[in-house]
Amino acid sequence: MYDVAIIGSGPAGISAAINLKVLGKNFIWLSSRAVSKKVGQAPLIKNYPGLPDVTGGELAWTFKNHIESMNIKIQEKVVTGVYDTGGKFTLLAGEEQFEAKTVILCTGVETVKSLEDEESFVGRGVSYCATCDGFLYRDKTVAVLCTDKKFEHEVEFLAELSKKTYVFPMYQGYEIKSPNAEIVLKNPVKVSGGLKLEKVHFKGGELDVDGLFILKGAISPSALVHGLETQGGRIAVKRDLSTNIAGIFAAGDCTGSPYQYAKAVGEGNVAAHSAVEYLSVNK
């Protein structure tokens, strides 16, 4: 059991990890990437105090160097669910699970827009992890919204076990080989159904399916953590970065604007300190 689990490797997650290391806590750090892709994309950053005129690439390198100098390790895993399991939290990542007393969400802002009604079908046909939930759809019909080449092995896995797999690739240069997979070059916009998911809708049509897998690096916070309070799609936090769920904290872009490196780094620092304070009170 870890003291803290950090999810996400943007500036907020990096700052939280550095602080937990300094504070001597036993933590696990999970993210879909070693360092958030978005950090490296900024052309020129002028307002990160202490590092004038750095490119995003340089800042990413500098952060990575800082983490490595402290011997902090990140595990490249996509967390697909966080569950309150009585005085602790269980995090699902593929077929693995991890337990922690507190969680710091540094999941950034989704770059993949959620589908209409997506969240209301989570657990009733919508899933974010093929290896976790694929077995539920043996010999059934599924659709997969695949946002990145690196998830293609999950698509193949689903194509193997399902009766039929429709694939919506959201990127260029896809290579999906299974004869059981049918590529659909449309943008899904909505899901619908009754007690269970029945249809995936796109402009000009729809498909009847038993399940929809949405494979993306960042899952919307309220889909990731059941009951998490959000405001306008961002996690609602107090000044100490606690959320409405005791023991869960959030930092960085996922808590709202301004979407800035310094703001995220500051919040990672505060969230780490708040988690440590929470641990000292809730032994």
* Residue 40 Cβ vs a second copy, minimum distance, rounded to whole Å: 14
- Binding to a second copy (CB under 8 A) within 212-251 occurs at 237, 239
Q: Which is nearer to a second copy, 44 or 195 (CB)?
A: 44
Decide if 106 contacts 250 (C-beta within 8 A): yes
C-beta of residue 213 within 8 angstroms of C-beta of residue 78: no
Among residues 25, 38, 216, 263, which is the contact residue for a second copy, using CB under 8 A?
263
Q: Does 146 bind a second copy (CB under 8 A)?
A: no
| Size of site (CB under 8 A) for a second copy | 37
* Helix, coil or strand: residue 43: coil
Subset of residues 61 to 120 that bind a second copy, contact rule: CB under 8 A:
62-63, 65-66, 69-70
116's CB contacts (< 8 A; 6+ apart) are 189, 190, 191
Q: What phi and psi, each to the nearest 5 degrees, are found at residue 20?
A: -65, -35
CB of 229 to a second copy, least distance (A): 14
Provide the angle, in degrees to the nearest 10, between the axes of the packed helices 11-22 and 56-69. 20
Smaller CB distance to a second copy: residue 47 or 172?
47
Residue with tokens 């009733």: 124
260 contacts a second copy (rule: CB under 8 A): yes
Nearer Cβ to a second copy (187/231):
231
Of 180, 24, 191, 66, nearest to 119 by C-alpha is 191
Query: Interface with a second copy by CB under 8 A: which residues?
Result: 11, 14-15, 18-19, 22, 46-53, 59, 62-63, 65-66, 69-70, 237, 239, 256-258, 260, 262-270, 273
